[in-house]
Structure 1
Amino acid sequence: MVTVRVLRFADGKPVTATSVAISRYGSGFLDVGGVFRGEYTNREGEVRYSKLDLPAKGKVIVDGHELYDGSLEEFMTFKI
């Protein structure tokens, strides 16, 4: 499971109703990766992807902007 939290850069408060998507890389012949559809952050500024198994590599896209490209972690925080 991966939880993405989005905070405002200016004051550190949660950003609500912001689109978050994860594009996961495949790691081998049978593991083709995939895109975990865009979800919107809740009132805590979080989105949880419970069907995403770790370890994994991929991209995190917030509000249409790629913010991260690399190893995915169980809990990831981004300030925008």
Structure 2
Amino acid sequence: MVTVRLLKKSDGKPIWGEKIYISRHGSGFLDVGGVFGSEKTNKDGEVCFFKLDLPARGKIVVDGHEIYDGELEKIMIFRI
């Protein structure tokens, strides 16, 4: 499971209602990756991707803009 949390860079408050998805990189022939999400952040600025197993690498996209590409962790916090 991966939890993504978005905070405002200016004041650190949660950003709610932003659409997030994760594009997971495949690691081999049988593991082809996939797209998880297209969920909106809750009032705490969070989205949980329960079906995404770690370890994994992938891209995090917020409202159509890539904000991260690399190793995914259990909790990912971004100030945007």
The normalised TM-score by structure 2 is 0.98
List aligned pairs for 1:48-63, cutoff 5 A: 48-63=48-63
Distance in 2 (CA, whole Å) between partners of 1:36 and 1:49 is 7
Aligned mates of 1:47, 1:71 — CA distance in 2: 18
2:38 counterpart residue number: 38
Separation in 2, partners of 1:49, 1:37 = 7
Runs of 4+ in 1 over 4 A off after TM superposition: none
Across the aligned residues of Structure 1 and Structure 2, the Cα RMSD in angstroms comes to: 0.5
* SS of match in other structure, 2:54: coil
User: Which residue in the other structure is 1:78 paired with?
Assistant: 78
Give the percent of matched residue pairs that are identical in Structure 1 and Structure 2: 64
Partner of 1:28: 28
Corresponding residue of 1:10: 10
| Shift in Å, 1:64 | 1.1
Cα distance between partner residues in 1 of 2:78 and 2:63: 12
- Give the gaps of 5 or more residues in structure 1: none
Q: Distance in 2 between matches of 1:53 and 1:46?
A: 18
Consecutive unaligned residues in structure 2, runs of 5 or more? none
TM-score by length of 1: 0.98
The total of aligned residue pairs comes to: 80
